[in-house]
A and B are shown apart, each in its own frame.
Chain A
Amino acid sequence: MAMMITLALILSYFETLIPAIPIPGAKIGLPNLVTLLVLSTLGFWDALVILIIRTTVVSMLFTSALSLAYSLSGGILSLVVMYLVMRLLKDRVSIVATSVIGATMHSVGQVLCAMLIVESFSLATLLPILILISIITGLIVGYSAKFTLKHFKMMLSKGTT
């Protein structure tokens, strides 16, 4: 558990080193890899705890309180939807598709939160491009998760956490 939080934090930091993708504010969402792995092995509550600790620590280290509200809203919406997808559709949806759905929901959550902050609905016009980017980043993270999952499960069964 602690190791997963550390891993998520390192990925968050690593991500700040990658120069911005065309649209400012968009990120690859590497920490979502950890969320995905934990969600599909240890379960929803562990993933939620890791998500909250990760976003809180990251905002204390690198950003501000406002961006905490911002990344939490995206993160939690994304987590809940990914959990529901995994739970309700079980094996009918692959982990890659789950990741894409999660990434998309993350963008939607953030835009909703931003709308509340600036009290303007006009931000909705940002959604098409953001969702398009989310699909690409979701694919990247999803495939990473797919390849990591095998080893992660093996590690868990050996009890190294």
Chain B
Amino acid sequence: MKKKEIVILAILVVLLAAALLVMNIIGNQDNRKLVISIDGEEYRTIVLTEQTNMHFTIETPDGYNDVVITNGVVDVVSSDCHNQVCVDTHPASKVFDKIVCLPHKLVLEIVGDGNGTD
């Protein structure tokens, strides 16, 4: 690598790290909602608090996803999708966190109060 390239790369890395940091800070707000959408259509919205404990199954046209919410932390515990990326994804708890199951066109995302992420 040339020196100039290393400098550009370093700047880029710092910018990205800053973006992640900012997202992390904004993400720590209190009024959080879980928005579940299938193929772009909103399917269900759940208000998340520290006391939210639920277990439910989402039936999509392409298969199912089992979701568990423990103390406001959302996790997909099982699915019949082929790549299991949604199951392997870390549980979501902060704004901007999301769990995506592409084979089922399913998106679970956590949004803040009033100012959604899209």
**Is A160's beta carbon under 8 Å from chain B?**
no
26 residue pairs of the A-B complex, CB under 8 angstroms, read: A20-B88, A24-B88, A63-B83, A64-B103, A67-B83, A94-B1, A94-B2, A114-B102, A117-B102, A118-B37, A120-B37, A120-B118, A121-B118, A122-B98, A122-B107, A122-B117, A123-B100, A123-B107, A125-B23, A125-B96, A128-B19, A128-B20, A129-B20, A131-B12, A132-B13, A135-B16
Known: A24-B89, A67-B83. A128 touches B103 (CB 8 A): no
* A128 to B16 Cα, complex, angstroms: 6
Tell me the complex Cα distance, A121–B111, Å: 13
List residues 81-112 of chain B with CB under 8 A from any CB of chain A: 82-83, 85, 88-90, 96, 98, 100, 102-103, 105-107, 109
Report the count of interface residues on A (CB-CB < 8 A): 28
A70 interface residue per 8 A CB criterion: yes
The answer to whether B102 and A135 have CB atoms under 8 Å apart is no
Give the distance to chain A from B102, nearest Cβ to Cβ, in Å: 6
SS class of chain A's interface: helix, strand, loop or mixed?
A: helix
Interface string of B10-47 (1 = CB under 8 A from A): 00110011011001000000000000010110000000
Interface of B is mostly: mixed
Number of interface residues of B (CB under 8 A): 32
Nearest-CB distance from A115 to chain B (Å)? 10
Task: Give B residues with C-beta under 8 Å from A.
Answer: 1-2, 5, 9, 12-13, 16-17, 19-20, 23, 37, 39-40, 82-83, 85, 88-90, 96, 98, 100, 102-103, 105-107, 109, 116-118
Is A11 on the interface with B (CB-CB < 8 A)? no
Decide if A135 touches B107 in the complex (CB within 8 Å).
no
Given A119, A126, A128, which contacts B98 in the complex, CB threshold below 8 Å?
A126
| A39 CB within 8 Å of chain B | no
Q: Is the CB of B98 within 8 A of A132?
A: no
Q: Which of A20, A64, A122, A123 has the most chain B CB atoms inside 10 A of its CB? A: A122
Q: In the bound complex, how far is the Cα of B39 from the Cα of A128, in angstroms?
A: 24
